Amino acid sequence: MEPVNLDESFASFDETWAPRIAAELNDYAVKVAKLDGEFVWHAHDETDELFLVCDGRLRIEFRDRDDADLGPGDLLVVPRGVEHRPVALEPTEVLLVEPTETLNTGDAAESDLTHDPERLS
């Protein structure tokens, strides 16, 4: 049991759209990620996904409902199976909570944006 400092976690890497595991609980990972620009449209058929904006501005776009605009301190849970696309309106830092093995690109075709998250030390 060691405390995790989120500022230090975000400062430990520069790569965008490549989540890092900061902590784990049960079968879930608390991931930190830096985002910039548009991601891919995708869904997670087996799990909900929690986004918490720590810094910056994030829009979560949906094909079948109104988009959600998030700023620092805002969180949103995207229900399982809902197709969405995160768009960072500026460089943005987010905390994600989802099952440990969840791929960031969900059901989208693998691409250079697909990352198996590394654990922060």
Q: Note the pTM of the prediction, 2 decimals.
A: 0.92
pLDDT of residue 11: 97
Residue 27 has pLDDT above 90, yes or no: yes
pLDDT in tens, 74-116: 999 999 999 999 999 999 999 999 998 888 877 888 888 787 8
Percent composition of the chain: helix, strand, coil (DSSP 3-state, to 5): 5, 45, 50
pLDDT of residue 74: 98
Mean pLDDT (the chain, rounded) = 93
Q: How far apart are CA 88 and CA 99, in angstroms?
A: 23
Residue 1 has pLDDT above 80, yes or no: no
Q: What CATH number labels 6-109?
A: 2.60.120.10
Residue 32 has pLDDT above 90, yes or no: yes
Average pLDDT in the 22-31 region? 95
pLDDT of residue 29: 95
* Phi, psi angle pair for 7, to nearest 5°: -60, -45
Domain boundaries, the chain: 6-109
